[in-house]
Amino acid sequence: MAIYFAQKVIVLMKNTTRKIITCLAVLVCSVASAQNEKYTLSGQIKDASNGEDMPFANVVVTNLSGVGVTSNEYGFYSISLAAGEYDISFQLIGYESVVKHVSLTQNVRLDVEMGASTQQLAEVVISDQKENVNVTRNDGSVTKIDIKAIKEIPALGGEPDVMKVIQTTPGIKTAGEGNSGFYVRGGGLDQNLILLDEAPVYNPSHLLGIFSVFNGDALKSTEIYKGGMSAKYGGRTASVMDIRMKDGNSKQLAVTGGIGLIASRVTVEAPIVKNKGSFMISGRRTYADLFLQLSNDDELSDNTLFFHDLNLKANYRLGDKDKLYLSGYYGRDKLGIGDQIGFDWGNVPGTLRWNHIISDKLFSNTSLILSNYDYNIIIGSGENKIELESVIADYNLKQDFTYYLNNDNNLKFGINAIHHTVEPGNLTVGPNTGFTSEDATPSIGVEGAVYLQNEQKITTRLQVNYGLRYSFLQRIGEGDEFTLDGNGNVLAVETFDANAPMEFMGGFEPRLSANYSLDEFSSLKLGLNRNLQYIHLLTNATTSTPIDTWIMSSKNVRPQIAEQVSLGYYRNFRQNTFEASAEVYYKDMDHVIDYRNGANAFFNDEIEADLVSGDGDAYGIEFYLKKNKGKLTGWVSYTLSRTTRQFDEINNGERFSARQDRTHDIAVVAAYKLSDRVTLSGNYTFYTGDAVTFPSGQYSLEGSSIPAYGPRNDNRMPNYHRMDFGLTWKRPQKGRFESSWNFSVYNVYLRENPYIITFQENEDDPSQNEAIQLSLFKIVPSVTYNFSF
């Protein structure tokens, strides 16, 4: 009897110890009750029409309430169930649900293809669970853009642009008229991590921002995280914009294209080996300059002004468990005035990715990423030529794992190392210029991170994602470290040899997001995040340009830190016809960078001495109402917010409004289906003018009138508002050939929105000063012809 008891205790202890070890090993304390005889169902979810991987699809066990998982970003899913008979439903918005019957007596691999739903079906199946996914999913502070829908929204020059569409959603504000840059919840332009297939894009603008570098035809999905982001993301403090390119149609050849007044584009997708591999290639070019060359006026025809870009992607499946992806982008803007001035710039990000299914529960992704951004300025020619080149180059290695521990815990962990090189200015000059050719010392650093994240279902109502990231920057020589006094004067310089370790800095970044379902149609979402940023963009505060300088953190430039908390209430009405949400946020920023008064950013060796470090805070409330069904669809977003900065060296240390402090920001986007073929669309934007510094007084110096300035950002630009209309007319389909005409008018009521306000002496009466407002686009009509087959 005693022996029996002893055995029982040992078994119990063994079991308990095993449980505890498992607990510790995975940092999860609520291991689901250990059932015997569990099997794993896993596989790949793909689009039936073109074989694209389908990320974030829901996999629901219909005969077990509340049991389900979501596919990862590569379309892989894994779910563990006791032996038995199950009906598994695969669901994603815009697709017909697929239900598969599974007899689970061993581990099963089940790949699924889903087809796009037709309009009628979506309207009939009103109680389908997938329609309230915006309420039930743990994704507060996340905005998803439907790439297919953006073509119907009126756009400047008829070029559908995902960057412009995200600027109409709450909490995300445009950097100005026709600008691709954006501000998220009081953050700066450089605080957004913009990823194209995991590769950071340093400058998202073409033609000074009028177009973004992202060609809508080449894209598959776009998500932007304003807060509570997963621990797998890092490097920027305000947001993560995760853009994925199409994999390429693996079933058949498909061609998409568009011909517009300003630019044309074409995309070709085809299988390499049917159902095993495919590729996609997409190109774009503007041709305004070709028309300039038609001009008889030499001054016009000698000029160049265009951009072209190319998206490339290929993937190949090596058996059941391995898949390789190669994706790249090449874009170049060229601007030239005769042979006197030449200016060109561009991004070249590229990614080589290997997906490997290690076991039916463990998924691995390895990425080797290159990011390159450079610009060239050439002034003069021959012996008088001055050429300035600046380059930022990254080599980036990422290893990510997804481990489906059980149906309630999904672990993500990985490491990341980025080698940054910033060459601020390489000067090459002709013999007759009086200058010496010289390369400014490049800055080099390694940014590294490790992270662990768990997505946990605590109850059927409460889902929590929590994680921890540790990141660091190790600066590497050669280079100089400056010792500065409080006024930015250089007291001492320490010089480091090539490859010598310089300053090291690092920190922890905890992340949390939680979703609590109040009922089937409403939920509360909480987000907490702390983000560190080691690389910063210095922009001349007025507008961003291609020559803005990136600098790395150093002895004098501390990493920027943002800590944010957000809480949202999400509610759907009328059988999910309307989605509504209200979300409040508060963000505290440390080591924010700004210029000392009067600083000059252009080609400044000791730029660190011209920078000041301070703190910022931002808070606001975001309202969003979206109508998903019926003839009229669209959304209204409104943000009420405040963003301030404080620096000891500016405004005598008093807190002042950041440039992007916009009290009110309203956007309305609507589409009305007049018939099956004709859709009318419109959008309206209003926002409070930027906080800026205007001259408040004047005085005379050497006979000239000089403006005197008051405190920083004490004035306001006039409010911005604009309305656009668009009309999309689908032509009757002929076989596989589909085509449509898109007509759009940008700024229909001819609002003259200020782009720049210049203060100057009146030419006729120099004793009188005047303010001159420059408006960019009074009204821009455009027509685009789109086709696909």
Partner 1 sequence: MKMKNLLTAFSVIAICCACEKEIDPDIDTAASQVVIEAQLRKGDQAFNVLISRSTPYFESATQPMVENATVTLRDDLGNTTLLAHTAKGNYTAQVNGTVGTTYTLEVAVDGTTYTASSTMMEDVDIVNIEADFQEGGLVNDDGYEVFFRYNDPAGARNYYRAIYSINGVPQLSASNLQVLTDDFNNGQLARFPILGEVFEEGQRVTVEFIHFDNAAFDYFKSLADIVSDANGFVGGTAAPANPTTNWSGNVLGHFTAINSDTMSVVVRYCNARPSTGNDLQGA
Find the binding residues for partner 1 in span 383-402 (CB under 8 A). Answer: 383
Q: Of the listed pieces 189-197, 226-234, 366-374, 764-772, which binds partner 1 according to CB under 8 A?
A: 764-772
By CB under 8 A, tell whether 204 contacts partner 1: no
- Residues 405-444: x/- map of binding to partner 1 (CB under 8 A)? ----------------------x---xxxxxx-x------
| Inter-residue contact 378 to 342 (CB < 8 Å) | yes
By CB under 8 A, tell whether 1 contacts partner 1: no
Assign 3-class secondary structure to 704-744.
Answer: EEEEEECCCCCEECCCEEEEEEEEEEECCCECCEEEEEEEE
Nearer to partner 1, 119 or 760 (CB): 760
Give φ, ψ of 357 to 5 degrees: -90, 105
Nearer to partner 1, 425 or 634 (CB): 425
How many angstroms from the chain centroid is the CA of residue 787?
Answer: 28
Q: Contacting partner 1 (CB under 8 A), which of 376, 426, 739, 769?
A: 769
Distance from C-alpha of 721 to C-alpha of 476, rounded to nearest angstrom? 48
Query: Exposed, middle or buried, 715 (CB in 10 Å: 0-12/13-18/19+)?
Result: middle
In the chain, what is the straight-line distance between the N-terminal and C-terminal CA atoms, in Å?
79
Tell the smallest beta-carbon distance from residue 266 to partner 1 (Å): 19
Q: Of the listed pieces 275-283, 552-560, 628-636, 760-768, which binds partner 1 according to CB under 8 A?
A: 760-768
Query: Which among 725, 737, 732 is positioned nearest to 783, based on CA atoms?
Result: 725
By CB under 8 A, tell whether 296 contacts partner 1: no
Q: Of the listed pieces 19-27, 228-236, 582-590, 753-761, which binds partner 1 according to CB under 8 A?
A: 753-761
Q: Contacting partner 1 (CB under 8 A), which of 698, 719, 739, 788?
A: 698
Nearer to partner 1, 82 or 783 (CB): 783
**3 state DSSP class of 610:** helix
Tell the smallest beta-carbon distance from residue 429 to partner 1 (Å): 8
Q: Of the listed pieces 147-155, 491-499, 520-528, 714-722, which binds partner 1 according to CB under 8 A?
A: 714-722
Q: Contacting partner 1 (CB under 8 A), which of 704, 733, 736, 737?
A: 704
Nearer to partner 1, 275 or 432 (CB): 432
Nearer to partner 1, 526 or 589 (CB): 589
Nearer to partner 1, 275 or 340 (CB): 340
Q: Contacting partner 1 (CB under 8 A), which of 30, 105, 118, 295?
A: 295
Tell the smallest beta-carbon distance from residue 200 to partner 1 (Å): 24
Distance from C-alpha of 469 to C-alpha of 233, rounded to nearest angstrom? 9
Query: Exposed, middle or buried, 139 (CB in 10 Å: 0-12/13-18/19+)?
Result: buried
By CB under 8 A, tell whether 723 contacts partner 1: no
By CB under 8 A, tell whether 737 contacts partner 1: no
Q: Which of residues 602-631 bind partner 1 (CB under 8 A)?
A: 602, 605
By CB under 8 A, tell whether 82 contacts partner 1: no
By CB under 8 A, tell whether 772 contacts partner 1: yes
By CB under 8 A, tell whether 645 contacts partner 1: no
Query: Which among 587, 661, 580 is positioned nearest to 623, based on CA atoms?
Result: 580
Q: Contacting partner 1 (CB under 8 A), which of 601, 618, 666, 667?
A: 601
Distance from C-alpha of 580 to C-alpha of 584, rounded to nearest angstrom? 14
- C-alpha distances out from residue 699 to 693, 706, 764, Å: 17, 5, 19
- C-alpha distances out from residue 578 to 119, 125, 425, 628, 635, Å: 17, 16, 53, 6, 9
Q: Contacting partner 1 (CB under 8 A), which of 695, 719, 730, 789?
A: 695
By CB under 8 A, tell whether 773 contacts partner 1: yes
- Residues 543-582: x/- map of binding to partner 1 (CB under 8 A)? x-x-x-----------------------------------
Nearer to partner 1, 686 or 755 (CB): 755
Query: Which among 306, 287, 312 is positioned nearest to 215, based on CA atoms?
Result: 312
Residues in the chain: 789
By CB under 8 A, tell whether 696 contacts partner 1: yes
CA atoms within 13 A on the CB side of 68: 26
Query: Which among 179, 212, 205 is positioned nearest to 546, based on CA atoms?
Result: 205
* AA letter at 152: E
Tell the smallest beta-carbon distance from residue 558 to partner 1 (Å): 20
Q: Contacting partner 1 (CB under 8 A), which of 116, 261, 266, 621?
A: 261
Q: Which of residues 153-172 bind partner 1 (CB under 8 A)?
A: 157
| Inter-residue contact 88 to 63 (CB < 8 Å) | no
Q: Contacting partner 1 (CB under 8 A), which of 22, 148, 291, 501?
A: 291
Q: Contacting partner 1 (CB under 8 A), which of 85, 87, 146, 299?
A: 299
> Which tokens sit at 310?
């190319």
Nearer to partner 1, 511 or 712 (CB): 712
Q: Of the listed pieces 6-14, 47-55, 317-325, 592-600, which binds partner 1 according to CB under 8 A?
A: 592-600
Tell the smallest beta-carbon distance from residue 768 to partner 1 (Å): 5
Give φ, ψ of 608 to 5 degrees: -55, -35
Q: Of the listed pieces 65-73, 219-227, 316-324, 590-598, which binds partner 1 according to CB under 8 A?
A: 590-598
Distance from C-alpha of 412 to C-alpha of 511, rounded to nearest angstrom? 13
**Alpha-helical regions (H) of 137-208:** 162-166
CB atoms within 10 A of CB 660: 24
Tell the smallest beta-carbon distance from residue 588 to partner 1 (Å): 23
Nearer to partner 1, 105 or 762 (CB): 762
* AA letter at 115: G
By CB under 8 A, tell whether 337 contacts partner 1: yes
> Which tokens sit at 690?
């930027």
Nearer to partner 1, 366 or 705 (CB): 705
Tell the smallest beta-carbon distance from residue 725 to partner 1 (Å): 17
By CB under 8 A, tell whether 540 contacts partner 1: yes
| Inter-residue contact 280 to 310 (CB < 8 Å) | no
Tell the smallest beta-carbon distance from residue 493 to partner 1 (Å): 12
Q: Contacting partner 1 (CB under 8 A), which of 126, 341, 493, 674?
A: 341
Q: Of the listed pieces 227-235, 334-342, 456-464, 623-631, which binds partner 1 according to CB under 8 A?
A: 334-342
> Which 8-state DSSP code applies to residue 655?
-
Tell the smallest beta-carbon distance from residue 670 to partner 1 (Å): 25
Nearer to partner 1, 261 or 640 (CB): 261
- Spell out a b/e string for 522-549, using b for 16 or more CB atoms within 10 Å of the CB, else e: bbebbbbbbbbbbbbbbbeeebbbbbbb
By CB under 8 A, tell whether 3 contacts partner 1: no
Tell the smallest beta-carbon distance from residue 760 to partner 1 (Å): 8
Total of residues contacting partner 1 (CB under 8 A): 91
> Which tokens sit at 505?
């800095």
Give 659's contacts (C-beta < 8 A, 6+ positions apart).
541, 690, 691, 692, 713
| Inter-residue contact 742 to 728 (CB < 8 Å) | yes
Nearer to partner 1, 312 or 745 (CB): 745
Q: Which of residues 5-64 bind partner 1 (CB under 8 A)?
A: none
Assign 3-class secondary structure to 498-527.
Answer: CCCEEEEEEEEEEEEEEEEEEECCEEEEEE
By CB under 8 A, tell whether 703 contacts partner 1: yes
**3 state DSSP class of 398:** strand
CB atoms within 10 A of CB 651: 17
Distance from C-alpha of 111 to C-alpha of 719, rounded to nearest angstrom? 53
By CB under 8 A, tell whether 486 contacts partner 1: no
Please name the helix (run of DSSP H) or strand (run of DSSP E) that holds residue 82, with its range, or none: strand 76-82
Give φ, ψ of 703 to 5 degrees: 85, -5
Query: Which among 660, 667, 731, 709 is positioned nearest to 689, based on CA atoms?
Result: 660
> Which tokens sit at 440?
């400014």
Tell the smallest beta-carbon distance from residue 152 to partner 1 (Å): 21
